[in-house]
Structure 1
Amino acid sequence: MTIVKPIQIQVANDVLEAWNNLGVVTRAEQLKSAAEKFSGATRSMALWQLDNAIHEIGEALVLPGPTGESNVLSTHGRGPFLITAQEDQADSNLQTALVGQTFAALVAGNPVVTVGPEGQAIMDALAPFVPEGVIQNVARSAEDSLIEALDLAGIATVCDSDHAQVLYQRLANKTGLLCQLVEENDAQTLPVISAPHYILRFVTEKTVSTNTTAIGGNATLLELGSKAE
């Protein structure tokens, strides 16, 4: 059976590289203007996600080079993320949760697809400040087709533990890209979304190793090291 890729996933993949290559700091600067469109706790959540991303993943790390090479560790977006919530979620804090998910995914370098009227409101606020296609919205009726998309990199959702278990099972049975589930089970206090390490759920790591020694230098250093022991 031929699986048709949702148009939203195609669009997201088309803008992924350019959005990801802007870097964390530049994306945060663009998104900060969008954060000002919200108010109260929702605005605070958006700004916190941006500040936290700069602190946690804003700079590449230079790692030790045991044999003289240069190793640089950086983070990159995983790919298209679906931002959603369990359909019967009606908590007054839901908008703050959805905004937190959206800003974390975007500042990490991922394009996002939101769902339903709540997602449309978030998209409307963000769209003027990001390149076209970086954020999209679908009707609730189209959510299942997005979940089954082979190129979907992750789902960030607000749901109870039973609903999360169902989603885990669906994703485990999928083929294609390994799809991450990033769930928040407490829409009132948001312990997951407000944790500093939350941003790490939306990135993948990349290490670039550059040989800075002369030809054969690494082998010589290894040999010297073995003799020292």
Structure 2
Amino acid sequence: MTIVKPIQIQAANNALEAWNSLGVQGRAELLENAVSKFSGAQASMAQWQLDNARHEIGEAVVLPGPTGESNVLSTHGRGAFLITAQDSFTSDSALVALVGQTFAALVAGNPVITVGQEGQTIMDKIAPFVAEGVIQNVATSAEESIVAAEDLAGIATLCDADHAQALYLKLANKSGLLCQLVEENDVDALPVIGAPHYILRFVTEQTVSNNTTAIGGNATLLELGSKEE
């Protein structure tokens, strides 16, 4: 049976490379234009996610090169993320959490797909400041088709523990990409979304290694290091 890829996933995949290539600083600058469209706790949450991303993943990290090579660690977006919430999560705090999920996923380098009327409202405030396909919205009735898509890289959701467990099982049994599930169960305290390391759930790491020694230099250094004095 041929599985038809949702058009939103196709559009997100088309936007991924250009969005990801902007880097954390470039994406944050664009998204800060959208922060002013939010108010109160939602604006504060959006700005915090951008500031936190700058601090946590904003700069590439130079790693030790034990044999003389240069190693640089950087982060990149995983791919299309679905931003959603269980039906019972409809409080003002839940809306703040949805904004936090959206901004975290976006600034990390991922195109996002929001769901329903709340998601549409968030999308409408961000879309004018980013390229086409970076943020989209689908009706609640279309959510299952997005979850089932083989190219979906992750889901950020507000839900209780039982719903999260059901989602884990569903994602484990589908084919395609290994789909990351990032769930928040407490929309009042927000212990997950409000943690500095939350942003790391939306990225993948890449290490670029450059050989800066002469031909055979690495082997010579390894041999010297293995000798006892």
Shorter-chain TM band = over 0.9
* Structure 1 residue 90: Cα displacement: 2.1
Question: Match for residue 132 of structure 1?
Answer: 132
Question: Match for residue 158 of structure 2?
Answer: 158
* Structure 1 residue 228: Cα displacement: 4.1
Corresponding position: 1:71 with 2:71: yes
Question: Match for residue 25 of structure 1?
Answer: 25
What TM-score do the two structures reach when normalised by structure 2? Answer: 0.99
After TM superposition, which residue ranges in structure 1, 4 or more long, deviate above 2 angstroms? Answer: none
* Structure 1 residue 57: Cα displacement: 0.1
* Structure 1 residue 188: Cα displacement: 1.4
Q: Deviations over 1:112-141 (max 9, x none)?
A: 000000000000000011111100000000
Pairing of 1:1-229 with structure 2 (within 5 A): 1-228=1-228
Alpha-carbon distance between aligned partners in 2 of 1:72 and 1:215, rounded to the nearest angstrom = 21
Q: What SS class does the counterpart of residue 92 from structure 2 fall into?
A: coil
RMSD: 0.7
* Structure 1 residue 91: Cα displacement: 1.9
Alpha-carbon distance between aligned partners in 2 of 1:92 and 1:225, rounded to the nearest angstrom = 60
Alpha-carbon distance between aligned partners in 2 of 1:192 and 1:68, rounded to the nearest angstrom = 39
* Structure 1 residue 93: Cα displacement: 1.0
* Structure 1 residue 88: Cα displacement: 2.3
- Comparing 82-91 with 140-149, greater Cα deviation is found at 82-91
Q: How many residues align?
A: 229
Q: What SS class does the counterpart of residue 182 from structure 1 fall into?
A: strand
**Structure 2: where are the runs of 5+ without partners?**
none
**Aligned residues of 1:91 and 1:188 also touching (Cα < 8 A):** no
Alpha-carbon distance between aligned partners in 2 of 1:71 and 1:81, rounded to the nearest angstrom = 29
Q: Deviations over 1:41-75 (max 9, x none)?
A: 11000000000000000000000000000000000
What TM-score do the two structures reach when normalised by structure 1? Answer: 0.99
**Structure 1: where are the runs of 5+ without partners?**
none
Q: Percent identity?
A: 77
Alpha-carbon distance between aligned partners in 1 of 2:32 and 2:218, rounded to the nearest angstrom = 45
Q: Deviations over 1:78-126 (max 9, x none)?
A: 0000000002222221110100000000000000000000000000000
